[in-house]
Amino acid sequence: MEKTVKKNKLCKSLPFRQISPAKFPFFYGWIIVFISTLGMLASIPGQTMGVGVFTDFLINSMAVNRVQISTAYMIGTIGSSFILPFAGKWLDRMGIRAMTLIVSIGLGSSLVLLSRAPLFQKRMFSGSFLFTMIILSILFLFIRFFGQGCLAMISRVAIGKWFNHHRGLASAISGVFVSLGFNSSPVFLNNLVQSYGWQTTLVILATGIGVGMGVLGWIFYRDNPEACGLKMDGNLGEEKVARFEARIPPTKKEFTKSQAIRTLGFWSFSLGMAVVALVMTAVTFHISSIGAEQGLTRDQSYLVFFWIFPFSIISNFFCNWISDRIQHKWLLMVTMIAQIAALLGLLIFEQVSGRILFSIGQGIAGGMFVALATVVFPRFFGRDHLGEISGFYMSILVFASAIGPVLFSAFRTFSGSYKMIFLFSILMPLGILLTCFKANNPQLDID
């Protein structure tokens, strides 16, 4: 049952109110999809595929080793995971528009500070190892919180609030560009660093996000269609709505966070996507080291991301499209199988066949991960508490991505190779597979 949602009082008092979504010649939700796509792309510097490009430069500039920087990254990311649930509550209270402005400025400022980290270390703390670790941990906390956490969460929640029956289609269209951007970003950023240097590159990114994304989000975002006098999906017509409702479970109950986390569906999908995040974060963070161990150059190692993106785009579009037609648990199962294949490919990464297997498996897993992260929770738990539920889910995701790099580096330090952790990691998606069969939409159990 649709509810009338009051406009956020803060947004009513601020500028750019002249844009009226109800007066657009097409459904304004597609503008939301466009801005949300930009928001996801703007989160890249806070994602590991963005941070990983700068890892080697930070190691050299800050005089730390790979285990130490991985530890600082883990501390900062775990710290971020602890405060993300509060960000979900703020999102529900403040609205998408105001949160985007604040978060964009926060991420931009954090990137500028990271570019000046070596200067802080030398001038303020005389190269002290303790303060070096503190500086890096705090900066990683800010970048991960604003980027991987908040900006990504806002973008997914926005689509979830504006679409229901066409949520899969909207996510599919957005996902194509997000997958392309995510998978090509390491190579793009690496080229940017080669041209301008790593510190200047960070300042360029900070300006584009802090100013560009903040302004665009503030002008064009709206929290939900009802506040603009519109309906989710636009005016579909009774016949079309009836056809959609015949295959998509209606939202019979708006779950609170405490109710959502008591369901198997929440934990199966949260932990399943956390596995994908952990592996992809760790591999991206250490990609040059993984390649070097198996005789590959830095350029050869980074080239694998170009191989990933076609499979990511195809799987993302397919997953989103079919998510409006079948139960989501089957899609989670495919995601876990693909992740196992990617890990097997890493075991023979020095071979072309191994890199192809990794690219196919990680491309499919990553593409479906992006899709499921957008469509599952609004369908399972409704929209009223979507920010808070998403905030808790994102804290799990961020925590998993935090321990990934340090877990991989620790195993390499103690065993002398990454292959032990590749084998160990296969157990995680295998465990999730066992829960997939009963990870049903909780709306189906409500009379």
Q: What is the pLDDT of residue 372?
A: 86
* CA distance linking residue 190 with residue 202, whole number of Å: 12
323: Cβ–Cβ under 8 A, 6 or more apart, which residues?
A: 167, 168, 171, 331, 371, 372, 375, 379
Q: What is the pLDDT of residue 7?
A: 45
Q: What is the pLDDT of residue 422?
A: 92
Is residue 421 within 8 Å of residue 408, measured between CB atoms? yes
> What are the C-alpha distances in Å from 218 to residues 155, 211, 385?
13, 11, 22
Report phi then psi at 124, rounded to 5. -95, -35
Q: What is the pLDDT of residue 350?
A: 84
> What are the C-alpha distances in Å from 342 to residues 335, 360, 418, 423?
11, 7, 14, 11
Show pLDDT as tens, one digit a residue, over the chain (447 residues).
Answer: 344 444 444 444 444 455 788 888 889 999 999 999 999 999 999 887 788 788 888 888 888 887 788 788 888 888 988 888 888 888 888 889 999 999 999 999 999 999 988 887 776 656 577 888 888 999 999 999 999 889 988 998 898 888 887 787 888 888 788 877 887 888 889 889 988 999 999 999 999 999 999 999 999 999 888 888 888 877 766 666 666 655 666 778 889 889 999 999 999 999 999 999 899 888 887 888 888 888 887 777 777 877 887 888 888 888 877 887 788 899 999 999 999 999 999 998 888 888 889 999 998 998 888 788 778 888 888 888 888 888 888 889 888 877 888 888 888 888 888 989 999 999 999 999 999 888 888 888 776
* CA distance linking residue 7 with residue 400, whole number of Å: 35
Q: Which tokens hold the place of 222? A: 């709206």
Q: What is the pLDDT of residue 11?
A: 41
Q: Map out the domains of the chain with their CATH numbers.
A: 28-445 (1.20.1250.20)
Is residue 221 within 8 Å of residue 32, measured between CB atoms? yes
Q: What is the pLDDT of residue 125?
A: 59
Q: What is the pLDDT of residue 233?
A: 76
Q: What is the pLDDT of residue 335?
A: 94
CB atoms within 10 A of CB 374: 30
Q: What is the pLDDT of residue 241?
A: 60
What is the three-class DSSP state of 312? helix
Q: Assign 3-state DSSP to the chain and report helix, strand, coil percentages, each to 5.
A: 80, 0, 20
398: Cβ–Cβ under 8 A, 6 or more apart, which residues?
A: 77, 78, 80, 81, 84, 144, 148, 149, 277
Q: Taking the CA atoms of 226, 229, 233 and 238 in sequence, report the sign of the dihedral they define.
A: positive
Q: What is the DSSP letter of 8?
A: P
* CA distance linking residue 289 with residue 296, whole number of Å: 9
What is the three-class DSSP state of 256? coil
| Reported pTM | 0.74
Q: What is the pLDDT of residue 126?
A: 60
Q: What is the pLDDT of residue 15?
A: 47
Q: What is the pLDDT of residue 267?
A: 94
